[in-house]
Amino acid sequence: MNLISKEVMHVGEMASGAALTVPVYRIKGKQQGPDVYIQANMHGAEVQGNAVIFQLLEQLKTIELNGSITLVPYANPVGCNHKNGEYTLGRFDPITGVNWNRMYHFDESIIEPFAKAHLTDSIVEIERAFKALMVEQISQKLNHNIYGITTGQRIAYQLQRLAHQADLVLDLHTGPISSKHLYCPDYARASAEYFDIPHVLFIPNGFDGALDEATFCPWWYLQLKFAELGRDFPITKTATNQGKDAVIKESFTVELGSQEQIDLDVAHEDALGILSYLQYQGVINSNDFHPKTMVRYSCMLEDYKALYSPMGGMVDYLAEFGQPLAAGEPLARILRMDNYGDGDPLHYISLEDDVIPILHFASASVNQGTELYKVFSKYSIL
């Protein structure tokens, strides 16, 4: 039976002086292996990840670990509690308007001097020193910023400091009304097949403010810089190295379905899919977890398109998630009762290309220009 430790991390203060806190659970592995960081609920309404963390903790009680695992539910206590009537908002910081998942930090200028200073060091020495550098950078942002930082940055940086101490990072999210999909860095394509997720978005190996990017980009850029300097520094498992003589550094955003709801039975299945990936990476000492056989569709991020409503009205969402939809087939129909009797009350929305619908807007009531759907516009079978 594994010992699960718990601490409460103080991430800020409210106007009343009440503390903003986040629970942090840790399970320490008995052997040498990759360390893992998993967080959930950075966006207030995206709650299924908390149920998945619960199911992971239940499973991990009795699984032998090679590496250690840190799990953080309720990662954003402000977003979790940002309600408007019966709805949870919590996608954007209500003070600054910034997306909660765009406040993480990466400074590319650290890469070149570090690579030159550590060019002849061992892989173990490089990994230890680079982790320490990234943690120290975040600590400096937190504790030595003359002009201070925002509430959202204070929360994000403390989460990021935990994530930088890991080798594998999973950030659990959901969409509005959504199918399951995975944001996968382009260099880590081989790992996508080990999650039980049928739709994969391959994202550029660059930084745009999200946690997955903030934790894999430093290692990716370091690999590139070492290559320029004539040194091989692999950061992912391949068919040739199988993780040997490499530091395995991967981060993913895992989209677990729709917001504002949890399903503990589905969360159990989601947890098994994550354990399949962790087994592949050697985190757990087991042979019990394997990816499901399924058709997996992939799409480049640049081909992940938003469809905006051409008019206001009441929307009947017709397209089935995750299934190819032929060009010209309707995704939705919009009801305009103001046109009844002297116009056309029904308008069908379709596209000229084959697509796979992935998610749609949470409400049936839309303004002209509301994002109706997100779709894979150019896709292939993984």
CATH of the domain at 308: 2.40.50.100
Assigned domain for 99 exists:
yes
Average the pLDDT over 106-134 and give the result. 97
Average the pLDDT over 6-33 and give the result. 94
pLDDT in the model for residue 240: 62
Assigned domain for 74 exists:
yes
Regarding whether 230 and 93 lie in a shared domain, the answer is yes
Residue 114 has what DSSP assignment?
Answer: H
Regarding whether 310 and 222 lie in a shared domain, the answer is no
Assigned domain for 58 exists:
yes
- Residue 56 clears pLDDT 80, i.e. is over it: yes
Regarding whether 123 and 14 lie in a shared domain, the answer is yes
- Residue 190 clears pLDDT 80, i.e. is over it: yes
pLDDT in the model for residue 1: 82
Confidence band, pLDDT 50/70/90 cuts, at residue 243? low
The number of C-alpha atoms within 13 Å of 285 and in the hemisphere containing its C-beta is 12
H-assigned helices in the chain: 48-60, 77-80, 111-117, 123-143, 151-163, 211-228, 264-280
Regarding whether 354 and 254 lie in a shared domain, the answer is no
- CATH code for position 90: 3.40.630.10
Average the pLDDT over 318-325 and give the result. 93
pLDDT in the model for residue 239: 61
Regarding whether 333 and 253 lie in a shared domain, the answer is no
pLDDT in the model for residue 15: 93
Regarding whether 268 and 349 lie in a shared domain, the answer is no
Assigned domain for 316 exists:
yes
Q: Give 168: exposed, middle or buried? Use CB within 10 Å, 0-12, 13-18, 19+.
A: buried
pLDDT in the model for residue 4: 95
Regarding whether 338 and 266 lie in a shared domain, the answer is no
pLDDT in the model for residue 61: 95
Domain end (from 265, 294, 323) = 294
Percent over 90 (pLDDT), the chain: 91
Q: How many domains does the chain have?
A: 2
pLDDT in the model for residue 298: 97
Assigned domain for 382 exists:
no
Confidence band, pLDDT 50/70/90 cuts, at residue 58? very high
Regarding whether 9 and 112 lie in a shared domain, the answer is yes
Q: Residues 205-239: pLDDT tens digits?
A: 999 999 999 999 999 999 999 999 999 999 998 76
Regarding whether 284 and 180 lie in a shared domain, the answer is yes
Can you give the pTM of this predicted structure? 0.96
Q: Give 89: exposed, middle or buried? Use CB within 10 Å, 0-12, 13-18, 19+.
A: middle
Regarding whether 332 and 229 lie in a shared domain, the answer is no
Domain end (from 294, 313, 344) = 294
For residue 147, what are the domain limits?
A: 4-294
Q: Are 20 and 7 in contact (CB under 8 A)?
A: no
Regarding whether 307 and 285 lie in a shared domain, the answer is no
Domain end (from 294, 321, 349) = 294
Regarding whether 345 and 316 lie in a shared domain, the answer is yes
